[in-house]
Amino acid sequence: MFLSVTFDQIWAHFADIFSIIYVITIIFTVIFVILQNRNPIKTISWVIVLVLLPVIGIIVYLYFGQNYRKAKIFSRKGISDYQKIEKLSKIQIKKLPDRKFLKNPKLKEKLNIITLLLNNSKALLSEKNKVKILKNGKQTFGSILYELENAKHHIHIEYYIIANDNIGNRIKEILKRKAQQGVEVRLIYDDVGSWSLKKRYVRSLQKAGIEVKCFMPVRFPFLTSKLNYRNHRKIIVIDGEIGFVGGLNIADYYITGTKKLGPWRDTHLRLEGEAVASLQVVFLIDWYFITKKLIDGEKYFPENKVVEEHLVQITASGPDSDWASIMQSYFVAITTAKNYIYISTPYLMPNESILTALTTAALSGIDVRIILSEKFDSKMVYWSTMSFVRDLLEAGIKVYFYQKGFSHSKLIMVDDVFSSVGTANLDYRSFDQNFEVNALIYDERITSELKKNFIEDMTNSKQMSLDEWIKRPNANKIKASFARLFSPLM
């Protein structure tokens, strides 16, 4: 009896101490959230979650709530190459009014986008470029394999998903062979995106002399917020002269499609010229972030030989950037459009700024069209996307659902002269949490070709009317509204 009472007393005392610590933790977490000076609605939402669901709320906040861009945990300020870029961007801003491309009135209208990206991400404007559009996996990997085989000095690869399948192994064997020939090969893969990549795949590359690095490895997924900040970039740089960027990861289904989703529709770019140097910088900064080793030198930035004139800016956005540069570029492109805005995105969960920009543009008489996929690889993402469709339809935006498989392209075309192709979706994750990279192109011919592909995709899509949305079963509307609450987390 004595021992029992003593134990009960000890337990009661422990419970009291735990309760005090628990309450103090909640109070300090709430204060911390408030002091971050975020959007008031988002702040209030987090406070409610923390108060009503204290234990779960703290865990969820650690995963999804912290603002790493504001915290500057991934700062690039100390990197010498980045400091050089900062200086060059300031020079470009001063000289912009004298650039000859401004004689084209359509290009002149997009000067504010160029200036924005020079300021918010130090995205240098390059003029001497050759841009080739690759509209599916077969074209993309055909070009990638050919260029890898012809590499002479170095190959830099950075991907969200690398699969241990047919295309993954074909690329692996080429990389091993090139390394044995004396070509420098460096590869970055994301730990979450490439979760299923076997260690033997990585070891096979390393044994061949290839430097392989995992981006932000997650060893204890339930105890770290790293799970939420992933490298979604898809970059290849070959000899500093040829680059690839776009929506396709390294996996067979990007070529063949899947049984569930059907054929895969995507868009990638092959770049040759000055813009490749900007892609190279993005890779080398990420390499430095992982290894703390700075790879630089003229051999990684050879003299440009391209004479074609396609204006390109490469902008990278993520927790390592001071501003949400890709989101801001979308915002300015949308709000300054004069005639039309065409968008293709697999995931549509825009923040309030982008949603307002789109609906305002449509209500102002701009022709706004968006292609989404009829089939989704996530039910929750599908329902969340559908919740935003009504807002778009009510504003007069034409919404199409692609029928011939899964549309994974991330495209924006504006006014026959501006286009963006890259890795960023129109959602919270791409804007705030993931490391992304886009190529912004100021060129009538390239935009015209992308527009032609977009119109072809429209013919393979079904347009949804507002009446159709309203007549959907109430159960579907409830699912959509519920999923929308979690759109910032998806």
Tokens at 269, concatenated? 């770019």
329-338 burial, b if ≥16 CB within 10 A, otherwise e?
Answer: bbbbbbbbbe
Give the pLDDT confidence score for residue 44 in this predicted structure: 65
Measure the CA–CA gap between 116 and 329, rounded to whole angstroms: 7
Measure the CA–CA gap between 172 and 165, rounded to whole angstroms: 10
| Active-site residue (options: 81, 191, 239, 286) | 239
| Active-site residue (options: 286, 415, 427, 443) | 415
Backbone φ and ψ for 60, nearest 5 degrees, come out as -65, -40
Tokens at 431, concatenated? 């804007």
Measure the CA–CA gap between 259 and 243, rounded to whole angstroms: 31
Contact 307, 128 (CB under 8 A): yes
pLDDT band at residue 344, thresholds of 50, 70 and 90?
very high
Question: Any idea which residue has 């899509």 for tokens?
Answer: 461
Give the model confidence (pLDDT) of 428-455 as tens digits. 889 988 999 999 999 999 999 999 999 9
Give the pLDDT confidence score for residue 96 in this predicted structure: 57
Contact 371, 406 (CB under 8 A): no
Q: Is the pLDDT of residue 320 over 90?
A: no
Residue of higher predicted confidence among 437 and 41: 437
Q: How would you class 106 by CB atoms within 10 Å of its CB: exposed for 0-12, middle for 13-18, buried for 19 or more?
A: middle
Looking at 41-50, 298-307, 389-398, 435-444, which range is the least confident one? 41-50
Active site (annotated) includes residue 410: yes
Tokens at 85, concatenated? 């870029």
Give the pLDDT confidence score for residue 353 in this predicted structure: 95
pLDDT band at residue 225, thresholds of 50, 70 and 90?
very low
Helix extents (H) in 53-195: 54-60, 68-71, 80-95, 105-108, 111-120, 137-149, 166-180
Q: Is the pLDDT of residue 391 over 80?
A: yes
Measure the CA–CA gap between 213 and 236, rounded to whole angstroms: 15
Average pLDDT of 84-102?
60
Q: Can you point out the beta strands (E) in 290-381?
A: 309-317, 340-344, 348-349, 367-373
| Active-site residue (options: 191, 408, 432, 479) | 408
pLDDT band at residue 2, thresholds of 50, 70 and 90?
very low
Give the mean pLDDT of the chain.
86
Give the pTM: 0.86
Active site (annotated) includes residue 427: no
Looking at the chain, the whole-number percentage of residues with pLDDT higher than 90 is 58
Tokens at 271, concatenated? 């770049």
| Active-site residue (options: 110, 122, 234, 310) | 234
Give the pLDDT confidence score for residue 58 in this predicted structure: 65
42-79 burial, b if ≥16 CB within 10 A, otherwise e?
Answer: bbebbbebbeeebeebbeebebbbbbbbeeeebebeeb
Q: Phi-psi bin for 37: left (phi > 0), alpha (psi -120 to 50), beta?
A: left
Q: Is the pLDDT of residue 325 over 60?
A: yes
Q: Is the pLDDT of residue 53 over 80?
A: no
Tokens at 256, concatenated? 């063949």
CA distances from 14 to 5, 18, 24, 447 (A): 14, 6, 15, 67
Looking at 18-32, 148-162, 237-251, which range is the least confident one? 18-32
Looking at 12-16, 224-228, 461-465, 478-482, which range is the least confident one? 224-228
Measure the CA–CA gap between 456 and 338, rounded to whole angstroms: 23
Give the model confidence (pLDDT) of 171-201 as tens digits. 999 999 999 999 999 999 999 999 889 899 9
Looking at the chain, the whole-number percentage of residues with pLDDT higher than 70 is 77
Active site (annotated) includes residue 467: no
> Which residue, 486, 400, 439, 476, is CA-closest to 274?
439
Q: Is the pLDDT of residue 74 over 60?
A: no
Active site (annotated) includes residue 310: no
Active site (annotated) includes residue 408: yes
Give the model confidence (pLDDT) of 237-280 as tens digits. 999 999 999 999 999 999 999 999 999 999 999 999 999 999 99
Average pLDDT of 400-412?
96
Q: How would you class 267 by CB atoms within 10 Å of its CB: exposed for 0-12, middle for 13-18, buried for 19 or more?
A: buried
According to DSSP, the β-strands at 418-422 and 211-215 are unpaired
Active site (annotated) includes residue 268: no
**Residues contacting 213, CB < 8 A, separation 6+:** 186, 187, 188, 189, 287, 290, 291
Measure the CA–CA gap between 156 and 237, rounded to whole angstroms: 5
Q: Is the pLDDT of residue 145 over 90?
A: yes
pLDDT band at residue 55, thresholds of 50, 70 and 90?
low
- What DSSP string describes 276-290? HHHHHHHHHHHHHHH
Q: No. of H helices and E strands in the chain?
A: 19, 19
Average pLDDT of 83-91?
60
**Residues contacting 216, CB < 8 A, separation 6+:** 190, 191, 226, 229, 230, 231
| Active-site residue (options: 122, 310, 410, 479) | 410
> Which residue, 215, 251, 210, is CA-closest to 233?
215
| Active-site residue (options: 156, 178, 232, 268) | 232
Average pLDDT of 367-383?
91
Tokens at 333, concatenated? 């492109």
Question: Any idea which residue has 């919740």 for tokens?
Answer: 387
Q: Is the pLDDT of residue 219 over 50?
A: yes
115-125 burial, b if ≥16 CB within 10 A, otherwise e?
Answer: ebbbbbbbbbb
